[in-house]
C-alpha cells in the first residue's frame, strides 16, 4: 500500500481525534491566524508550500511565498512566488518587513546561514516568526537535519543578531508522548501491511487506539499544570537588532 495514498485517506480526519497527529493539526488553523496577526508590511514566507498563511493576512499586506524547487515541485506540487534556497535569498538588503519561517529551519543543512540571510533582508526592527518541531519523528527525509531545545534556539537567534520578543512551547508532556505513540503505532501497522504480515489485521484496532490515546492525553493535559519539559514544537518571535 502506497504511503501517499494512506496520507490522502487520513487528510479528512486531521481535525478529529481519529488522526494520529490530531494534537498538532487541531490547532493548525489557530496557529496560522496567530502568525498572521504578528506580521505586516512586506511579508516573506520561506518554505511556503501551498501558501496557507496568505488567506489569513489583511489585504494591505504584501505577501511573497518562497520555496525550494525540489520541495515545491517534486514533493508538494505547489507554486510559490519565488523558487530559491533559504540559505541564499535572492532579495536586496533591508527590503522586507517580516519573515515567516514555519517548520522549515530543521530541513536546512546550514541553518545559521539562513538566519543571517533573513537578518540581511529584514529592515531595522524587522520581525522573524520562527517555528520548529522539537519532539517529532524524522520527516521529509533525507532533508531533515536538526532539533533544537528552547536554549539552542535562543543561542541561534542571538548569534544571528536577533532579540527575542516572545517564545511559546507547544504541547504538554503527555501530548508529546501521545503524538509519538500514535505515529509509531501507525507506522508499525503500515510496515506490516507492506510486508503482508498477518499482524496487519491490527489496522482494524488502530482507529480505536488512536482515538482513545488522543482524547485521554488531551483531557489529562488540560488538568495538568503547565510544563514545557517536552513540547512537540516551539514558536519564537524575533526582532532584528
Helix (H) or strand (E) segment spanning residue 18: none
Percentage above 70 pLDDT, the chain: 96
Return the residue matching grid coordinates 516573506: 44
Domains recognised in the chain with CATH numbers: 1-22+173-225 (no CATH), 39-172+231-240 (3.40.50.150)
Residue among 169, 218, 168, 173 nearest 19 (CA): 218
Percentage above 90 pLDDT, the chain: 89
pTM here?
A: 0.91
Q: Does residue 7 surpass a pLDDT of 70? A: no
Return the residue matching grid coordinates 489496522: 203
pLDDT in tens, 118-152: 999 999 999 999 999 999 999 999 999 999 999 99
Q: Does residue 234 surpass a pLDDT of 70? A: yes
Model confidence at 5, in pLDDT bands (50, 70, 90)?
Answer: low
Does residue 142 have a cis peptide bond before it, meaning omega lies within 30 degrees of 0?
A: yes
DSSP helix/strand/coil, 143? coil
Structure-derived torsion over alpha carbons of residues 32, 33, 39, 40, reported in degrees to the nearest 10: 120
pLDDT in tens, 45-83: 999 999 999 999 999 999 999 999 988 988 888 999 999
Higher pLDDT, 75 or 11: 75
pLDDT in tens, 160-178: 999 999 999 999 999 999 9
Higher pLDDT, 9 or 93: 93
Model confidence at 1, in pLDDT bands (50, 70, 90)?
Answer: very low
Rg from Cα positions in the chain? 19
Return the residue matching grid coordinates 533573513: 118
Cβ neighbours of 31 (radius 10 Å): 18
pLDDT in tens, 194-219: 899 999 999 999 999 999 999 999 99
Residue among 20, 13, 12, 81 nearest 51 (CA): 81
Q: So what's the pLDDT on residue 4?
A: 59
Listed in sequence order, the residues at least 6 apart from 30 whose beta carbon sits closer than 8 Å to its beta carbon are none
Given phi > 0 = left and psi -120 to 50 = alpha, else beta, which region is 103? left
Q: So what's the pLDDT on residue 6?
A: 61
Amino acid at each position: 500500500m502506497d504511503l501517499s495514498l494512506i496520507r490522502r485517506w487520513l487528510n479528512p480526519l486531521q481535525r478529529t481525534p481519529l488522526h494520529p497527529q490530531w494534537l498538532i493539526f487541531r490547532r493548525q488553523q489557530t496557529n496560522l491566524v496567530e502568525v498572521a496577526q504578528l506580521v505586516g508590511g512586506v511579508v516573506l514566507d520561506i518554505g511556503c508550500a501551498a501558501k496557507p498563511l496568505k488567506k489569513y493576512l489583511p489585504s494591505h499586506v504584501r505577501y511573497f511565498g518562497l520555496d525550494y524547487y525540489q520541495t515545491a515541485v517534486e514533493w508538494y506540487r505547489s507554486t510559490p512566488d519565488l523558487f530559491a534556497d533559504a540559505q541564499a535569498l535572492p532579495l536586496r538588503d533591508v527590503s522586507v518587513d517580516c519573515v515567516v519561517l514555519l517548520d522549515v529551519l530543521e530541513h536546512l543543512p546550514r541553518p545559521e546561514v539562513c538566519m543571517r540571510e533573513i537578518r540581511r533582508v529584514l529592515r531595522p526592527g524587522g520581525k522573524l516568526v520562527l517555528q520548529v518541531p522539537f519532539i517529532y519523528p524524522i520527516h521529509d527525509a533525507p532533508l531533515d537535519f536538526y532539533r533544537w531545545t528552547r536554549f539552542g534556539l535562543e543561542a541561534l537567534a542571538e548569534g544571528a543578531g536577533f532579540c527575542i520578543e516572545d517564545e511559546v512551547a507547544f504541547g504538554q508532556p503527555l501530548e508529546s508522548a501521545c503524538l509519538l505513540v500514535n505515529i509509531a503505532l501507525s507506522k508499525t501497522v503500515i510496515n506490516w501491511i507492506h510486508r503482508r504480515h498477518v499482524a496487519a489485521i491490527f489496522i482494524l484496532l488502530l482507529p480505536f487506539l488512536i482515538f482513545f490515546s488522543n482524547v485521554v492525553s488531551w483531557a489529562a493535559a488540560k488538568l495538568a499544570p503547565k510544563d514545557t519539559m517536552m513540547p512537540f514544537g516551539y514558536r519564537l518571535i524575533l526582532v532584528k537588532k
